[in-house]
Structure 1
Amino acid sequence: MKKLKRIMALMLASTLLMTGITGCAFGKNSTSNAIVAIIEGEKIPESLYRIYLWYTQQYFEQISGPTIWNMQIEGQNTSDLAKQRALESTILSVVAAKKAEELGVQVTKDQEKAAKENAEKFVKNNSEIIETYHFGEKDIEKFLLATDLVSLVEEKLGQNYMPQEAEITKFIEDNKGIYEQVTATHVLLKTTDDASNELPENEKAKKLAQAEEVLQKALNGEDLSKLATTYSDDAGSLNQADGTPDGQYTFRRGKMVKEFEEAAFAGKDGQVWPELVKTAYGYHIIKTDAHIPADEEVMRNEFISASKREFTNNEFNTMISNAQVEKTELYEEINIINATEETIETDSASKE
């Protein structure tokens, strides 16, 4: 599934392609309508494959920068892996198109129009890429329509799948604690500066004394939100745009630092935690305002959505694995070009 998620990230995030990336140096590559691969009987010309490869290169470099081409991932040279990922994306576009015919789904006229307009815009704004990498407007248009069609097939496949009720019930019962929320108000006396450096010991001692004073005020019944307005160093919880009282947060488990979370969830509704809570940020005075039970309907919907995604991913993986693919000699000869315009050979000699 992880492999397909990477493919889908390339295929479905096509808006990145239209953002006007310019000035990328790929070196001069001879491209043509020569065949790179035959997928399910469909001949894939070099120019179409190259847009998948170019886009895969962009994706890889976004993750780790241009130096990624000097690394190995999953036991492969990254250049070999990028070529394989680009080929898998191309395979996905072919098998998804065939599946779309079976399911009776097709791109809309509006999607066709948008793909054409975006392809034209890309060519106009990125002449250097077109010149150096040698894929054309029609290739871009096909690429964009393929991403749309994959998305439509994914949606249709998901509509035809529903996890069993027993699975849903088990997920809800096993994960209620994760989905439970708590609303808590706090005052923070920071023991670090804005750069997260520890304050001098004398300054930390003053913060501790002030925190103990605020804790005592809160235990004596003073409004902790008003105390937050006066004393708290947590700027993010003050003057909140949605009108939430100063110092107050509502959150699930795993969203706050451990010590803060434990005290907030362990506290009783309406009561101030009787001790200062020390975290990496400083000293907290915490009041648990309310525990909010897990919303089982939200859990149900999230589990169903995740199950549908897993099902469609598995379906796509199976289609890709079962596809008849014949790579030509040209595929083996194609190289990755890194940011310094140095060709990274992808044949066996480069692995020695």
Structure 2
Amino acid sequence: MENHVLAKVNGIEITDAILDSTIASLPPERRSYFDSEYGRNQLLEQLVSVELINAFGTELGLDNDPHYQAQVEQALKDIKYSFTMNKVFGAITIEEEEAKTVFDENPDLYQGEASIRASHILVDNEDLAKELIGKLNGGELSFEEAAMAHSSCPSKEQGGDLGEFGRGMMVKEFEDAAFALEEGEMTAEPVATQFGYHIIRTTEKKGTAPVEFEAVKSQVMNRMLQEKQMEYYTKLLIELKEKFPVEYK
């Protein structure tokens, strides 16, 4: 395909190829817009504007400005670093068979999260909490009755039921106590948190759900790729420090 010159600004040519490469470098959501004839014309005008401003910058003597020169030098270093790393990392790949082996050998890393369902009674007095535990154990009150009568948490309207939750959704003291209980078991002592004193009953426990390899394949492969890249990068820097002189002052 012939590379047509679309515009010339101060002797600098803007061609089809330049326009195409500029469009290809854009994010996908913007790329489709500039692929249209109208979009290409708009982009061409933008490139023309850039060359006009650059020509004016040269006229202002920026090419001899030390601050400009320093930034250009740093930009070139950054570009070279980026291209070099892309070339280095581009040669590192993870095969699906490798990922499947790692998945099979580490099943716990890729299983679903455990969750529980629990109810609680929240009071601001430890003695009251202990008294209620005694009444609950003695059958004088049901858990729901005690929650509705004494709990300061809005969950009292549901008999203290907090619904289902996983790790990291409750304060640590509450979470540790609730997950440690067996299904249907209640805490023997009040659990103190920043909110007060809790009597906790775990009503349902769900174990980790098995996950198929296909469901997490990309996650496994991405994780392995990052680890492999960092391992190679660390090794490469050691080799390069031996190859090229490095002096700290």
TM range (shorter): 0.3 to 0.5
Please say which structure displays the higher CA radius of gyration: 2
> TM-score, with normalisation over the residues of structure 2?
0.48
> TM-score, with normalisation over the residues of structure 1?
0.36
